[in-house]
Amino acid sequence: MDFYWGWILDPVFYGDYPTIMKEYVGNRLPKFTKKEKYMLKGSTDFVGINYYTSRFARHESNRTKIMYDNYDALAVSEGIASSKISNPLKDEHRIAYVAAHLNATKAAIDDGVNVQGYFLWAAFDTFEFQAGYSGNWGLYHIDFNDTLKRIPTDAAKWYTKYLTSDLRH
């Protein structure tokens, strides 16, 4: 996480890169002057986190094949997109995904994190640069074969109930 988030967030919170990053990267990492460290530390008003996938590590002995984008061979990718489901309106997996994130956000708030908002991506199926229109990304399915009709998925219906009812309590 230090190499994913810390190299950006540590300087604005603490004035320098994470220690482990400095140890591993060494002199290839740019150095901050004392003045730059002072200016960086505490220089942000808020942090917004936008992510599309999660990575988990698991032990697999004798595996040396490297994955893409400098991720470890033992990383497992879990994203929310649903490019291979037979019925894009039946997206129960998305309900579980969103509920888990809302629960984690609530737990963070209960632990004292000053959360000011939660935005669910994406409201509608949309164009993805690497996949075009092939994925079902949104809470509302766009029927590209029927005048771009917008159809709520099961997750959209659940989320609406969640936001307007006692599902939150």
Tens digit of each residue's pLDDT (9 = 90 or more) over 114-161: 999 888 878 888 888 888 888 888 899 998 888 999 999 999 999 999
How many CB atoms neighbour CB 124 within 10 A? 13
Structure-token pair, residue 99? 């509920």
d(CA 104, CA 107): 5
Is the model more confident about 81 or about 28?
28
| DSSP for 76-130, written as a single string | EEEE---TT-S-TT--HHHHHHHHHHHHHHHHHHHTT--------S-SB---BTT
Structure-token pair, residue 31? 């150095």
Residue 75, strand partner residues: 57
φ, ψ for residue 93, nearest 5 deg = -60, -35
Q: What is the pLDDT of residue 1?
A: 83
Tens digit of each residue's pLDDT (9 = 90 or more) over 97-111: 899 889 999 999 999
The type of residue at 75 is A
Q: What is the pLDDT of residue 68?
A: 44
pLDDT at 81 over 60: no
Q: What is the pLDDT of residue 70?
A: 43
Q: Cβ distance 97 to 142 under 8 Å?
A: no
Q: What is the pLDDT of residue 46?
A: 87
